[in-house]
Structure 1
């Protein structure tokens, strides 16, 4: 059952866990496709993708195309003679690539499709207050995350779970689902389910504008928004403190429901607590990173930083 020649395509840590599971379970991975090395840091030193770093430790053939339609890349890919391609957190593939193997190309997506098609499904599931999510394998077609579904696996989202924690749980769940999917395909017993064309809830890419905290929203929505971006890319806000205005990233939070007469965004502090007034209570901030500073818990921050009486989050 594990004789299929597999080409694996992926880039970040999430994909490494799936590739590692395939290697450790003795699947026949004959090549890895990942992103080109990119300059990073002050020295602009070339940085390898997480998948490349792992593939090198396993002596796997590695291709790093800048153009997925280039004749040279297509010739190298064809030479790997793959029966099956597996895609995890990679780029959109041209038709000539995903149609190449005889058994097709399938993708692992971190949502219960057709919900949360797009670039940031784990984040948006938490941001939108979902209580469950999961992973889906599907055969790639010519659109994004719309192909026929092979398998799904579901888990609950904990009420206080942050996206970093959920990411890791889905990563391991996904690794198991990928190997089950390969086994189905290799046995010739795979059956697929067509997705409905209409998109229900989307998972668009995260940009600064949709990571900014909207303090006019109910406390539960703000709480979900912040934990859905913790630790990356992190929710942010502007703070007006006296004559100064700075930006800050917010990490650990709690919520408090109560009545008050304070203006939305008003900062309330004590010796060890910082909370922000919203329309139905307070958002309690436990960890924050002021612009140009390191992340601190609130007692540490308040030990060296003072908020004026009229300080407000904008």
Structure 2
């Protein structure tokens, strides 16, 4: 059995849950690599990654390289004398980095590979209406999320579960998978499976403004899945037009009822406390949303300060 000396690489909250589990299981973490600090928001206040905050709180050796191929960074990384790199939600590594440790570099990905390779696997699993997903550990190679798989764990997706809720459950499942993977590598029992390749594999494309916009020509179920798959971040959005007024509105939560109706697709109707939008095959009830310059609100909170005409429509 070979004692592990681990360098951990990651950036967001999801990675923190995994790093904490490694730490709590008393593995030796000789270094943590995360994204450089950067200005963020309107005030351009310097923002640090969630992984950095955790590493500092535990007094772990921290590196924040801007260039993963720089000689200074590579020399410092080599000096840590790690025999294993663990990667969770980080950026693509150059070969010189992932080939450096004796026992290799493995990644935790939040999908059942080979499905949903890419930047946003949690979101796309829900957007596409999947009923199950999971996590996979695999040894990194020279492409994105294509390496030999070590283990997978799966779970079912709730019918109304949001990406935020699924994120937290996958983080716990991923923590278990990483610790079990560490145990296999430590005892020399890790075996791998080559990923299958076919044209039907779904991709977890990077989220952008275009693929987060609601297309009201889709079925109500597809729109509902998009809303929950993008909640709480970055959020599905639509234009709402009422006469001369037009707003760019984020929708965070909704429910959908399939039913026949005669309303125009996208037509918005309200009661004193509820907002409804007609889809081609039913009615979407809006639970929470955000208008420009305002905070996220429940529908009844928004209706306390705004009223819509009968001609209001989502575009």
Q: Which residue of 1 aligns with 2:299?
A: 298
Q: How far apart are the structure 2 equivalents of 1:283 and 1:215?
A: 11
Q: Give every structure 1 segment of 4 or more consecutive aligned residues whose post-TM-superposition deviation is greater than 6 Å.
A: none
Corresponding residue for residue 180 of structure 1:
180
Aligned to 1:248: 249
Q: Distance in 2 between matches of 1:41 and 1:244?
A: 27
Alignment of 1:56-75 (within 5 A): 56-75=56-75
Shift of 1:219: 0.6
The correspondence of residues 28-177 of structure 1 with structure 2, limited to 5 A, is: 28-177=28-177
RMSD of the TM alignment (CA)? 1.0
Q: Is the 8 A contact 1:215 1:264 kept in 2?
A: yes
Query: When the two structures are superposed, what TM-score results if normalisation uses the length of structure 1?
Result: 0.98
- State how far apart, in whole Å, the 2-side matches of 1:70 and 1:276 are: 53
Does 1:210 pair with 2:206?
no
Describe how 1:280-295 pairs up with structure 2 within 5 A.
Answer: 280-295=281-296
Question: Distance in 1 between the 2:99 and 2:205 partners?
Answer: 26
Gaps of 5+ in 2: none
Distance 1:39 1:131, change over 3 A: same
Give 1:271 shift: 1.1
Deviation at 1:2, TM superposition (A): 7.6
Give 1:44 shift.
2.6
CA contact 1:120–1:205 (8 Å) conserved in 2: yes
Q: Which residue of the partner structure matches residue 272 of structure 1?
A: 273
- Provide, for residues 146-167 of structure 1, a one-character-per-residue CA deviation record: whole Å limited to 9, x for no partner: 0000010000000010000000
Query: C-alpha separation between the residues in 2 aligned to 1:89 and 1:100?
Result: 19
Distance 1:275 1:43, change over 3 A: closer
Task: State the shift of 1:261 in Å.
Answer: 1.3
Q: 1:248 to 1:43 in 2, by over 3 A?
A: closer
Name the residue aligned to 1:228: 229
Q: Which runs of 5+ in 1 are unaligned?
A: none
User: Does the CA contact (< 8 Å) of 2:85 and 2:101 recur in 1?
Assistant: yes
> Aligned partners of 1:41, 1:131: CA distance in 2, in Å?
36
Tell me which moved more, 2-11 or 98-107: 2-11
